Amino acid sequence: MDRVRVATWNVNSVKQRVARLLPWLDERRPDVVCLQELKVTDVVFGELLGDELAARGYEAAVHGQAQWNGVAILSRVGLDDVVNGLVDGPGFPDQEARAVAATCGGVRVHSVYVPNGREVDSEHYRYKLAWLKALRDVVADGPEDVMVCGDVNIAPADADVYEPGAFEGHTHVTGPEREALAAFHALGLRDVVRDRWPTERIFTYWDYRAAMFQRDLGMRIDLVLASGSVAARAKAAWVDRQARKSAGSKAAEPKTAGPSDHAPVLVDLDEAPDGDVGPVVPPPSAPRAGKSVKAPR
């Protein structure tokens, strides 16, 4: 197998994004696509995109929900053992459509939309932390070759927000949220984009208001986390800022063709060392996930 391109994109309503999503698939040609905030049911997703995706060679695992949430994985390198939701995951009060997993080209891929948290110490915030713990447990119990892709609604470090002072006392930057992210690193997962660009100013989300994108005042809250075995295969990793841009004029951009407030994140993986079938013996720098092994640093 050739290189595999994996992408994640919070589309903020797939219904409003069809006119951007399809051309973007044709231009970037990702092999695996994790989508979040579909905001439609499985049925509506199929009506909107089923034929168009099949024509492009994608299978789709869709865990939709009307109005809010909704996640999916598109793949043209296989889509096996699909699981909707999180085993033993919390609800608010019922489980929401925030996670879907599938095995694509030998890698366990999770597309996630982590709860927002709203206000620090609120019920929503506690729900967010409990949800992250449930996701951590699912990853820990899963295969070694794993990717967690999606909108985590946490900026991993102060460098991942445009102005740390603007977020004091708010969600997305608090210690407990960052500790919940660190639990994935303790399993051996790497932040692929930050690893590749250690000091770069990189954002994936910009508020629609106040021309935040044009001023590059954003947050990096959409991540690709990968086990050491998979991260070692990453040959490129970047944010597709082009997809966040508006068209040149109102006339050129009807209301149905505006951008999401999130940009896609893309990662190119070289083929697996042993081809692409079956588990790979982890190198010393890639401890097996979940077995109380400390992260290498």
HSE-CB for 147 with a 13 A CA cutoff: 33
The nearest distance, CB 113 to DNA, in angstroms, is: 7
Residues 6 or more apart in contact with residue 94 via CB below 8 angstroms: none
Q: Which is nearer to DNA, 81 or 121 (CB)?
A: 121
Between residues 110 and 172, which has the closer beta carbon with respect to DNA?
172
**Minimum distance from CB of 179 to DNA (Å)?**
18
Instruction: Kindly provide the residue ranges of all beta strands, DSSP E only, lying in 24-156, ordered along the sequence.
Output: 32-36, 59-63, 71-75, 80-84, 99-104, 107-113, 146-151
From 32, 61, 98, select the one nearest 230 (Cα to Cα). Answer: 32
- Angstrom distance (rounded) from CA 57 to CA 48: 16
Minimum distance from CB of 36 to DNA (Å)?
Answer: 8
Residue 116: DSSP 8-state: -
- By C-beta, is 246 or 285 nearer to DNA? 246
Q: Is the peptide bond before 93 cis (omega within 30 degrees of 0)?
A: yes
Between 29 and 245, CB nearer to DNA: 245
Q: Give min distance, CB of 221 to DNA, in A.
A: 5
Compute the least distance from the CB of residue 191 to DNA, in Å: 17
Sequence-distant (≥ 6) Cβ neighbours of residue 65 within 8 angstroms: 38, 39, 40, 41, 96, 97
Closest separation in Å from C-beta 207 to DNA? 7
| 145 vs 261, beta carbon nearer DNA | 261
Nearer to DNA, 29 or 170 (CB): 170
- Which pair of structure tokens corresponds to residue 95? 């489980």
Between 123-140 and 175-185, two packed helices, what is the crossing angle to 10 degrees?
10
Nearer to DNA among residue 105 and residue 117 (C-beta): 117
Quote the tokens at residue 261.
Answer: 């407030």
Q: Which residues bind DNA (CB under 7 A)?
A: 10, 12-13, 15-16, 37, 39, 66-68, 115-116, 118, 124, 151, 153, 171-172, 205, 207-210, 219, 221, 255, 258, 261
Minimum distance of DNA from residue 66's CB (angstroms) = 4
Contact between 235 and 270 (Cβ < 8 Å)? yes
